[in-house]
Amino acid sequence: MSYIEILPKPFFVLAPMDDVTDTVFRRIVASNAAPDLYFTEFVNVDGLQSEGRPRLLKKLLFTKQERPLIAQLWGANPENFYKTAKQIADGTFAKELGLPKGVNFDGVDLNMGCPEKSAVKHGTCSALINDRPKAKEIIEATKKGLNGTMPLSVKTRTGFSTVDMSWIEFLLEQDIAMLTLHGRTRKQMSKVPADWNLIGQARELRDKISPKTVIVGNGDVLTYKQGLELASKYKLDGIMIGRGIFHDPFIFDSTNPWENYQPKARIKLYKKHVQLFADTWKNRERPVPTLNKFCKVYINGFEGAKEMREELMASANTDELLEILNNKLSSLV
């Protein structure tokens, strides 16, 4: 039984974010308030099928706590999508990651929406909106690699320079299990509000073209309640939350306890994150400044938070971070 069949309606998804949603942060989110579905960071198939493979494996590392989990892929070479999908499906990657027997990814997603300039320059991610033959070739190669063992999904945007619903029609014609739509074009980046009316239109197209494809909306969701309202209004199967997690690390909890968290509890949670980071990346697979992206999530909303963040973000290693956090905790009543 695939994850598609067991998810509630509507379901909530933690979005893939590079250098953010690694195994450490996913476990922190899981311990706070778990989403219904997780994605890995997006990982390059061309790199995975090269000498650089060992350096990229950290992007795929996960534990049983972070499931169901979708491996999100991007790249340029369809043959490498085939090889990577095949090695995901047959457990090769799970074995290389040292996972227990029987533990594997639950699906594969294709990143056809990242707007980053260098990705577009190389004809990958959102550039595929303008190269449908290549997009089709990648989808078919990945399907061939999965050989029906796992669901295939796609995450994309509403167009490249302008809104282009024919792109959504094209994707729905590819018989994919799930389509996640970010309500902005590539050109818009994150400079304008997400257009949920377009996401609703995509759901209407789904109903006509590919009724079995699950539709997920993404863009500017800052609360669980807002996500429920959007899912209801546009009749969506799921809601994906990305940057909203930076405002509330309990965003997947309908009771929203975060606003009542006192400074000591917030600092303890960041300490937990730092300690897990130190325990997971013992060989410095991740640079310590990566933690700076999370500092404001926790060290925020209380007197002296700004100064404390500055001190933390100047730290050279996790030992220094933990010392600062412990000192602050011992000074609080």
Distance in angstroms (rounded) separating the CA atoms of residues 86 and 43 = 15
Band (pLDDT 50/70/90 cuts) for residue 333 is low
- Same domain assignment for residues 70 and 148: yes
Q: Which of 24, 34, 69, 114 is catalytic?
A: 114
Share of the chain above pLDDT 70, in %: 100
295 is catalytic: no
Residues 66 and 145 in one domain: yes
Q: Comparing C-alpha atoms, which of 221, 215, 218 is closest to residue 202?
A: 215
Encoded amino acid at 250, one letter: F
| Domain of 164, in residue numbers | 3-247
Final residue of a structural domain among 190, 219, 247: 247
Query: With 90 as the cut, is the pLDDT of residue 256 above it?
Result: no
Domain count, the chain: 2
Q: Which letter does DSSP use for residue 330 in this model?
A: H
Average pLDDT of the residues of the chain: 96
State whether 173 and 265 are in the same domain: no
Confidence at residue 332, expressed as pLDDT on a 0 to 100 scale: 84
Mean of pLDDT values over 208-214: 98
209 shares a domain with 268: no
The mean pLDDT of 303-332, rounded to a whole number, is 94
Residues 257, 224 contacting (CB under 8 angstroms): no
Domain final position from 247, 280, 298:
247
The pLDDT tens digits of the residues spanning 138-172 come to 999 999 999 999 999 999 999 999 999 999 999 99
**What is the pLDDT, as a whole number, of residue 261?**
93
Question: Mean of the pLDDT values across residues 281-308?
Answer: 93
Rounded Cα distance between 113 and 39, Å, is: 15
pLDDT at 116: 94
The answer to whether residues 119 and 205 belong to one domain is yes
- Over residues 165-198, the pLDDT tens digits come to 999 999 999 999 999 999 999 999 888 999 999 9
